[in-house]
């Protein structure tokens, strides 16, 4: 038994090391100067020679790459606020539209409900490449291509938050809802005073997952935004030359900070929300 426990712990530690190694390299690289990066990365860089190394520590830590990003690169701030606007707009829209849609699919019986939910699941499974052309044609007809709403509008009506919230709303016991109705509560009041408070973990889980998705958008901005001044932060790194690789490391670390903070604050809700999707509906 002790041998099995030791082997399990060793495997978990090894897996943790493998998963964390790229992150440690990213942080270490962001603290290296350009000279040290050139010597460490070697032949990976256009001006380097030899072989690349993978150090976990830097010999001469410096913040020059962070200064270059935050002080000497105004475009980075523009892209940062573009990402913030896109993410905030999408999440606010999902909260407004996906929440009542999920409640209706979870708590009401109507003809075609299962078929409609199957359609939501089907849309959720389709890759962006399949729906890119229809989305482009619709956005072009609306006259909002090459604007931030071209990214925000399709995200608002994403099927994924409905899928997450619907499963969590379905776990609310019928007895609570029926008691509220017997006390004279209308359907809107039941939704606002019972559905939303008891479904908060599922709502937060959907919003946290949505933040991760829309904070790191790549394909949608490339397809719908021609003006690079409207690009999100996730497209900053490809525009940087490998001759200034420290800028790439530092910008990636800074871009990851909001995602890490959101995950730290919403981890409990995220776990509970995802776990709810594995339960059977009680409705």
Taken in order 259, 260, 266, 268, is the CA torsion positive or negative?
Answer: positive
How many CA atoms lie less than 13 Å away from 186 in the CB half-sphere? 2
pLDDT digits (tens, 9 = 90+) for 213-256: 999 888 899 889 888 889 998 888 777 766 677 888 888 888 88
- With cut-offs at 50, 70 and 90, classify the pLDDT of residue 282: very low
pLDDT digits (tens, 9 = 90+) for 142-176: 889 889 999 999 999 888 899 888 888 888 888 88
Phi and psi at 59, nearest 5°, equal -75, -35
CA dihedral 202, 207, 212, 215 (to 10 degrees): 170
Q: Which of 46-60, 134-148, 167-181, 257-271 has the lowest mean pLDDT?
A: 46-60
Q: Where is pLDDT greater, at 180 or 271?
A: 180
Question: How far apart, in whole angstroms, are the C-alpha atoms of residue 182 and residue 190?
Answer: 11
Q: Would you put residue 217 in left (φ > 0), alpha (ψ -120 to 50) or beta? A: beta
Q: Judge whether 149 and 228 are in contact, CB under 8 Å.
A: no
pLDDT digits (tens, 9 = 90+) for 32-51: 887 777 777 766 666 656 66
Nearest to 25 by CA among 51, 48, 63, 52: 52
The pLDDT of residue 151 is 93
Q: Catalogue all structural domains in the chain, each as residue range(s) with its CATH number.
A: 2-62 (no CATH), 74-276 (1.10.3720.10)
The helix/strand/coil state of 240 is coil
The pLDDT of residue 280 is 45
Share of the chain above pLDDT 70, in %: 89
pLDDT at 59 over 80: no
Q: Where is pLDDT greater, at 144 or 268?
A: 144
Phi and psi at 53, nearest 5°, equal -110, 170
């Amino acid at each position: 038994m002790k041998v099995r426990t030791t082997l399990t712990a060793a495997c978990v530690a090894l897996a943790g090391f493998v998963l964390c190694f790229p992150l440690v390299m990213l942080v270490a690289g962001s603290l290296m100067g350009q000279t040290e990066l050139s010597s460490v990365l070697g032949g990976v860089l256009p001006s380097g020679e030899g072989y690349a190394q993978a150090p976990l520590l830097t010999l001469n830590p410096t913040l020059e790459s962070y200064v270059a990003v935050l002080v000497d690169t105004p475009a980075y701030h523009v892209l940062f606020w573009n990402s913030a606007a896109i993410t905030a707009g999408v999440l606010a829209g999902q909260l407004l539209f996906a929440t009542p849609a999920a409640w209706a699919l979870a708590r009401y019986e109507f003809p075609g409900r299962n078929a409609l939910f199957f359609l939501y699941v089907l849309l959720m499974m389709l890759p962006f490449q399949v729906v890119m052309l229809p989305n482009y044609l619709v956005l072009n007809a609306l006259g909002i291509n090459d604007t931030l709403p071209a990214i925000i509008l399709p995200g608002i009506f994403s099927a994924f938050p409905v899928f997450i919230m619907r499963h969590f709303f379905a776990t609310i016991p019928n007895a609570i809802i029926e008691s509220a109705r017997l006390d004279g509560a209308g359907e809107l009041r039941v939704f606002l005073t019972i559905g939303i408070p008891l479904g908060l973990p599922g709502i937060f889980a959907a919003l946290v997952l949505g933040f991760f998705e829309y904070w790191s958008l790549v394909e949608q901005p490339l397809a719908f935004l021609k003006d690079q001044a409207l690009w999100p932060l996730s497209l900053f790194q490809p525009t940087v030359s490998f001759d200034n690789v420290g800028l790439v490391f530092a910008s990636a670390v800074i871009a990851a900070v909001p995602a890490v903070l959101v995950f730290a604050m919403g981890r409990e809700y995220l776990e509970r929300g995802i776990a709810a999707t594995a339960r059977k509906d009680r409705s």
